[in-house]
Amino acid sequence: MRKVYSKITVLVLSITLGITVAAVFSFRTDANVAIEKTNPPAKKTLEMVFVLDTTGSMGGLIEGAKQRIWGIVNGVMAGKDKANVKIGLVAYRDNGDEYVTQVLPVTDDLDKVYTTLMNYQAEGGGDTPENVRRALADGVHKAGWSKKSKNTSKILFLIGDAPPHNDYEQEPDVLVTTAKAVSQNMIVNTIQCGNLAGTKEIWQQIAQRGEGKYFAIAQDGGVQSISTPYDKKLSELGTKIGATYVAYGGGAGKDGVAYRLKKMEAQATVEVTVAADAPTEAQADRAVNKALNSRAYAGDLIQDIENGNLKLSDVKTEDLPDDLKKVPPADREKEVQKRIADRKQIRAEILELSKKRDAYIKAERAKMGKQDGFDSAVENALREQMRRSGTK
């Protein structure tokens, strides 16, 4: 009888223990789910800085960059992790030119990046070496990289066709600067345009020291832009989605009105500049970016409310645009939600059309064979380096 009781006791204890463990496990799992819902994982970010030679011989590369920069960004944003993208630019020439460097710190205002790139003209230079020392130093130290490293890839591309002026001893050595970049969790890549003697060796050393890649491409950048039957319509949809921009803020009185007008004028200027000067392919890529990018427009009321960063009830009446002020307060939320729905519809049209465009481009590229241009070099590096640094 003792043996029977003993077996029953063991069985009861086992069942009780199992239920307890299951309950604890269930509690922990539910708690983890609740925590994850309350604190979703931080979105991953790519910070990318282009240190770009803008002397006279670099015209082809600069024009190629204008054509393909949106496509490169879209490839990252459409990836598995839907990473945010911030870009910085360092244009450089040489001592005695119009400028030695011009720095645009990293920003997620990609229209600002693009309009800055649009303004670059290939001029100056004339002698072989350039002030690469200053350019790379400014790219590492003045480009506004974030201090955080978690969930952030920091990738720099040095692009040029001439070696550094090693007689500029007042400027830091490029390999010393590169080592400093690596110590700050940056990866440094080099892209050599053309085959000027003396460039390959130092470009390779920089890439090796920077734990990045070295690429050799054609002097003209090697970008092969592909026109498609869908570009014009995508460009039109991009303009249409831009028209839904709503500036807000600035406080009461004339200053508030002036603030909103300034924002609206700045956005309108971007739209006109891109429509007038950007290649049609770039306009199409920009439209796709506006559909993919949750931070497509800086200072946009509709975007901030849709992203959950702002509630309409928290915006003072004097900070609203005039057309929303005229809507009765009880109906404003409904009006904003209608505008969000309209924007989502345009996005859906863009994304549907972009699928057809992507298929067309893929087929055309297959006919062309292997690509060795600026865009393919950047995309090649990003695929491996974002994975390595944990953002893909």
Q: What is the pLDDT of residues 139-173, one digit of tens each?
A: 999 999 999 878 899 999 999 999 999 999 999 99
**Model confidence at 349: pLDDT above 50:** yes
CB atoms within 10 A of CB 135: 29
User: Would you give the DSSP letter of residue 104?
Assistant: E
Nearest residue to 325 via CA among 261, 243, 248, 241: 248
Least confident of 30-39, 70-79, 234-243, 268-277: 30-39
Task: Kindly indicate the confidence band of residue 41, based on its pLDDT and cuts at 50, 70 and 90.
Answer: low
**Model confidence at 87: pLDDT above 70:** yes
Task: Kindly indicate the confidence band of residue 204, based on its pLDDT and cuts at 50, 70 and 90.
Answer: very high
CB atoms within 10 A of CB 177: 24
CA angle 295, 298, 304 (to 5 degrees): 60
Whole-model pTM?
0.86
Q: What is the mean pLDDT of the chain?
A: 89
Residue 193 phi, psi dihedral angles, 5° rounding: -95, 130
| pLDDT at res. 42 | 72
Average pLDDT over residues 338-353: 97
DSSP helix/strand/coil, 318: helix
- The kind and range of the H/E element at 152 are strand 152-160
Written as six digits, the tokens of 300 are 């946009």
CB atoms within 10 A of CB 200: 15
CB atoms within 10 A of CB 191: 28
Least confident of 35-44, 301-310, 375-384: 35-44
**Model confidence at 95: pLDDT above 90:** yes
Please, are residues 238 and 290 in contact by the beta-carbon 8 Å criterion? Answer: yes
- The kind and range of the H/E element at 110 are helix 110-119
| pLDDT at res. 117 | 96
DSSP helix/strand/coil, 50: strand
227 conformational bin, left if phi > 0, alpha if psi -120 to 50, beta if neither? beta
What are the CA-CA distances from residue 335 to residues 15, 323, 327 (Å)?
58, 11, 8
Which is it for the CA torsion 234, 367, 192, 195, positive or negative?
negative
CA angle 320, 236, 68 (to 5 degrees): 100
Q: What is the dihedral of CA 321, 323, 326, 328, to 10 degrees?
A: -90
Give CA–CA dist 392/381, Å, rounded. 12
| pLDDT at res. 24 | 38
